[in-house]
Amino acid sequence: MSAVVSSTAPVQRAEAYVGHQHPGYALGRRRLHVVGLERLTDRVLHVELADPSGRPLAAFQPGSHLVVEAGEGRRNAYSLTGDGFNPATYAISVLRLDGGSAWLHRTLEVGGELEVEGPRSMFPAAHDQQHALLVAGGIGVTPVLSHARAAVRAGRSATVLYSYRPGHAAHLDDLHELAGRPGSRVRVVEATDVKQTRVSLTGLLADQPFGTHAYACGPSGLLEAYEEAAELAGWPASRVHLERFVAPELDPGDPFTATVASTGRRVEVPSGTSLLEGLLAAGVPVGYLCKQGVCGECRLPVRAAAALDHRDVVLTAEERQSGAHVMACVSRGRDIELDL
Amino acid sequence: MTTTTEAPVPPIAPLDTPAVRAFLAQPLDHMARLPWPFPDGYEAFRYSVNVDQARVPRPTLAGEWGRHLVDLGGAEYPTIMAERRAVLAADPARVKVLPGMELACWDLLLYYFRDLALSYPEVMHLDERVDGDADRFRWRNDLLGTDQEFTLGREETLPCGPLEMLAREVPDDLLLVRERDGRLHFDAGAVTFAAAWSVSFDVGMDMYEIHGPVPRMTGSGMTARAEQFLLRMPADQVFRRVNWNVAASPTRTYDISLEALPAWAGDMDAALAAGTAIPDCQLRIELEHFVRLPMSGAVTFNIRTFMASLAEVRRFPAYAAQLATILDELPEDLATYKGFAHLIPQMVAYLRS
């Protein structure tokens, strides 16, 4: 998974605050060494990073991502492909698109440095899963590989559906290697066009053992097909997990007013401008990253609102109903009083 | 459900080093380390989500608390750990680990060993990358005489499970909560010093079930807010909370769990009959620490118990007066839940005398 996160530096937590004493728990901005580069396909570059002084890196849950500096103030998020258990290195796979990913492809070299932040866990495994159905589309294979590796380490079973275009199957060999290990309980199913993918999704979602959790990462078309097939097969939503890397298109919305409760400051948010942009322009500091309603960084507490239009993919149905928070980068409303 | 199997308990044998001697020679002063639970001017107690950043030292009239994640208890440390190990040996069911929590237990062990070695470098040591293997560690605790090599994630390299291993080294009761189906559940624990509750009874419960008996808690939305806090707790910070009670036994017994009820249930009545109860009543403080563990995402709800008798509290007139005011004001439902409603008039009179 990869997501463009922001073009200007957001409010960051300072590494100086000693939340954790041991360097093996550091999550703040820091520079790592590039210790390995491998071209997996003509458009995917695999990058391995290590601490420059050989100190341990923070462990992470499978499905976590790393935020990396991507040139000209850009910061992108990439899924880590390892299982997260006491990692000696961090590994990400970067699909070359425009902007930050192209910069990484162009600039990175072994022995060089890269500024990172995290890992952050937004796509974890359910602790009590009996089995995992892992669905990957294209570069969405990266968190799926992380989950598959964690399942193998824990001795748990997983079924992987990997949908890719022939010639663009990054990490397919890694998945086969996992499945081929003695005693491995990982099975890999491949699909190389839309029709095959739909047939496999329908078939796999209709035939999973009791206690399975399903996870998917890929382009929005695949995720829609996945959600539809899961619903048709009667899956409860709490067992159907997904990670988006392309945010849905949003309409510009109506203008509205937001009030900062502590100061009484009123901020007018015009149509086509987000609440986040409105607040930042008015000098109200708000931390943010993805500006896509995906990462959860810009969650703001709401004291009162005449209406809230939640357009993020972070808040749960329960949280939306409670109206206690709003994701400032995408969501809108009417007369929102922010508890800031 | 798996229960860690009983294993021979290694005896406590402090190393004879200058650092160990100095550590164990510290004066015993129960008030000096006690996290005084009430802010200045605080006169009426109600439950609240009173969380605070951890590892910030707080001075009190009697000393200081909160500098480290783990307070070993000074010279009392070997005594506390002997009680802990005796309870674990006699009742292995005090350690409960639900399926799927194994990784969280390793996460916890490594986090605490790393932290202890940095907090107490003269007497505790963690070697990492033993023989160049990133997963191999060697833990040495000179105060108890522990010297244990282990491979992370490999239970057969320890004399017991990782949760019990840590429980033998630190005075804290260890509790791990994790999210299941959108709610936080207490799914693993090594608890020997529960104040009138039982790890076997509570393990597997969600926060609402555990706090059901606490008056004014769930109804006021506090359970929901506490759960939201723990669910959203950032991974790069460590938090703590202080809770208090007057112990049901007027002795320095740490284990006043429901499992041990027959052993302590008669203590208060016997002391009341003998006329010695009130000065010996123990202000019992729970210092809870919350850490989100990186490999598993589980959150700790570890509880370190501190005690000081009312006689010890009375050495500090400002604290005695504050505690008397708070006890006097305490609404009856809260006092009844805490279990000392019938003692309040005598305690208040004693603290004010």
- Per-residue pLDDT of A27-72, as tens digits, reads 999 999 999 999 999 999 999 999 999 999 999 999 999 999 998 8
pLDDT (0 to 100) of residue A15: 35
pLDDT (0 to 100) of residue B6: 52
CATH number belonging to the domain at A2-120, selected among 3.90.380.10, 2.30.300.10, 3.40.190.10, 2.40.30.10: 2.40.30.10
Kindly report the average pLDDT of chain B as a whole number: 92
pLDDT higher than threshold 80 for residue A269: yes
pLDDT (0 to 100) of residue B154: 97
- Per-residue pLDDT of A116-170, as tens digits, reads 999 999 899 998 889 999 999 999 999 999 999 999 999 999 999 999 999 999 9
pLDDT (0 to 100) of residue A313: 75
pLDDT (0 to 100) of residue A122: 87
pLDDT (0 to 100) of residue B301: 95
Q: pLDDT band at A16, cuts 50/70/90?
A: very low
Which chain A residue has the Cα nearest residue B52?
A19
Q: pLDDT band at B217, cuts 50/70/90?
A: confident
Q: pLDDT band at A297, cuts 50/70/90?
A: confident
Asked if B150 contacts B137 with a C-beta cutoff of 8 angstroms, the reply is: yes
CA distance A126 to chain B (A): 7
* H or E stretch at A225: helix A220-232
Query: Domains of chain A: which residue ranges?
Result: 2-120, 131-244, 256-338
Q: Which amino acid is at B27?
A: P
Assign domain A256-338 to its CATH superfamily: Beta-grasp domain (3.10.20.30)
- Of the candidates A109, A171, A167, A181, which has an alpha carbon nearest to the alpha carbon of residue A146? A171
pLDDT (0 to 100) of residue B7: 53
Q: Which residue has the tokens 């759960």?
A: B227
Q: Which residue has the higher pLDDT, B3 or B13?
A: B13
Q: pLDDT band at A245, cuts 50/70/90?
A: low
pLDDT (0 to 100) of residue A11: 35
Asked if A289 contacts A67 with a C-beta cutoff of 8 angstroms, the reply is: yes
pLDDT higher than threshold 80 for residue A10: no
- Does the active-site annotation cover B314? no
Class of domain A131-244: alpha beta
pLDDT (0 to 100) of residue B210: 85
Over residues A195-207, mean pLDDT: 97
Q: pLDDT band at B2, cuts 50/70/90?
A: very low
The answer to whether B119 contacts A27, with C-beta atoms less than 8 Å apart, is no
CA distance B254 to chain A (A): 29
pLDDT (0 to 100) of residue B8: 65
Task: Determine which of B113, B176, B236 to mutate to test the interface with A (most A C-beta atoms within 10 Å).
Answer: B236
pLDDT higher than threshold 50 for residue A4: no
Tell me which residue in A86, A88, A124 faces B152 most closely, judged by beta carbons.
A86
pLDDT (0 to 100) of residue A17: 44
Count interface pairs A-B at CB distance under 8 A: 77
pLDDT higher than threshold 50 for residue A113: yes
Q: pLDDT band at B237, cuts 50/70/90?
A: confident
Look at chain B and count its residues: 353
Asked if A44 contacts A139 with a C-beta cutoff of 8 angstroms, the reply is: yes
- Contacts of residue B332, defined as CB under 8 A and 6 or more positions apart, other chains included, come to B341
pLDDT (0 to 100) of residue B219: 73
Query: Domains of chain B: which residue ranges?
Result: 36-107+161-352
Q: Which residue has the tokens 């989500």?
A: B49
- Per-residue pLDDT of B240-267, as tens digits, reads 999 999 999 999 999 999 999 999 999 9
pTM of the model: 0.86
pLDDT (0 to 100) of residue A114: 97
Task: Determine which of B295, B296, B299, B300 to mutate to test the interface with A (most A C-beta atoms within 10 Å).
Answer: B295
Q: pLDDT band at B66, cuts 50/70/90?
A: very high
Q: Which residue has the higher pLDDT, A319 or B4?
A: A319
B344-352 and B317-329 helices cross at what angle (nearest 10)? 150
CA distance A93 to chain B (A): 21
Q: Which amino acid is at A262?
A: S
pLDDT (0 to 100) of residue B198: 87
Predicted ipTM? Answer: 0.91
pLDDT higher than threshold 60 for residue A8: no
Q: Rounded distance, CA A21 to CA B220, Å?
A: 36
The answer to whether A61 contacts B181, with C-beta atoms less than 8 Å apart, is no
Hey, how many other C-beta atoms are within 10 angstroms of the C-beta on B27? Answer: 7
pLDDT (0 to 100) of residue B9: 65
The answer to whether A60 contacts B181, with C-beta atoms less than 8 Å apart, is no
pLDDT higher than threshold 70 for residue A1: no
Task: Determine which of A128, A153, A213, A325 to mutate to test the interface with B (most B C-beta atoms within 10 Å).
Answer: A128
The answer to whether A127 contacts B187, with C-beta atoms less than 8 Å apart, is yes
Asked if B107 contacts A61 with a C-beta cutoff of 8 angstroms, the reply is: no
Over residues A209-238, mean pLDDT: 95
Over residues B179-191, mean pLDDT: 91
DSSP string, B114-131: HHHHHHSTTTEEEEESGG
Q: pLDDT band at B10, cuts 50/70/90?
A: low
Q: Which residue has the higher pLDDT, B50 or B74?
A: B74
